[in-house]
Structure 1
Amino acid sequence: MLPLIVTVTLLGQAPGLEIAAQGRTDYVIAISADASPSERFGAGELADFLGQISGARFPIVETAEPPARAIVVGGLAGDESLGDEGYVLRTEGERLIIAGGKRRGAMYGCYGLLEDVLGCRWWSATGSTIPRMDHLVIPPLDERVVPILEYREPFWGEAFDGLWCARNRQNSSHASLTEEMGGKTVYTGFVHTFYSLVPPDQYFADHPEYFSLIDGKRTTSGGQLCLTNPEVVRIAAETAKQWIRDNPETDIVSVSQNDWHGNCQCDNCRAVDEREGSPSGSMIQFVNQVAEIVEEEFPEVAIDTLAYQYTRRPPKTLRPRDNVIVRLCSIECCFSHGLEACPTNQSFEEDIVGWSEICDRLYVWNYTTIFPHYVSPFPNLHAMGPDLKFLVDHSVVGLFEQGAYPPGGGGEFSELRAWVQAKLMWDPTLDPRALIEEFVEGYYGPAAEPILEWIDVFNDRVIEEDIHVNIWTPPTASHLTDELVAQGLELFDAALERVDGDATLSSRVARQRLPLEYAQIMRWSTSERMRYVVDAQGARIPGGEQYQAAVEHFAAEFQAQGIQEIREGGGTFQPWLESARGKFVSSPTVTVKAGGLTAYLLPEYGARVARLADHEGGRELVALPQPEMGDLGSGGIAFTYGASIPKVAFEATPSHSLLSGEPEPGVWVGFGAVERDRRMALVAEIKNNREEPLEIAPRLLCALAPDGATLRLRPEEGFTRYIQGGNDRTGYVVGDVTILAPGETWSGSVTVDRGRPARRLLSARTVRSYCGDWRYYLPPDFSGTRVVEGAEMGVAGYLTGHHVEWAIQWHVADGLLRDGARYRVRARIRAEVVGDQGGALTAGVWHSASATTNCTTALSAEAATGDWEVIEVGVVEWRDGGYAWLAPAANPANVPEILVDWIEFEEVARP
Structure 2
Amino acid sequence: PHAEFAELRAWALAKLLWNPDQDVEALYADFFSGYYGPAAKLVRTYFDELHALVTPTEHVLRIWSPMTSAWYTDEFFSRAARLWAEAEQLVENQPAYRYNVRMSAIPVLYARVVRWPKMDVRHVWRDGALRPEGVDPEYAALARELLARIEEGKITHVSESSERHQAFLALLQGRSEGFTPRVVAGAGLTAGVVPQMGGRVASLARGDGPSFLHADAGGVDCAPNAASMTSREEEPYFVAKAEPASLALVRDVHHRYRIRRTVAATEQGLRVESAVTSSRVQPDTVRPVLRVALDLGDAAGVAARVGDGEWQKLTVPEDQVFTAASLRGRELAGQDVLIASAATGRGVRVRLPNTPIERALLFCDTRLGAVRLAVLASAQPLPGRGTLAFPLILTPLDPVSGVPAIPVAKQHEPKRVVIEECLINLGRPGAWGELVADPDAEDGFAAKLFNTHYEWCLQWPIEPRWFQPGAKYKARVRLRVAKSDREGEAFWAGVYDSAKKTGHGQIQPKTSEVRDGYQWYDVAAWTPEDKQYVWVGPGRFDKQGGKPSAIEAVYVDRLEFTRAD
Superposition TM-score, scaled by structure 1 size: 0.31
More RCO (CA 8 Å, sep 6+): 2
* Structure with a larger share of its residues in strand: 2
Which of these two proteins has the greater Rg computed from alpha carbons?
A: 1
* Structure with a larger share of its residues in helix: 1
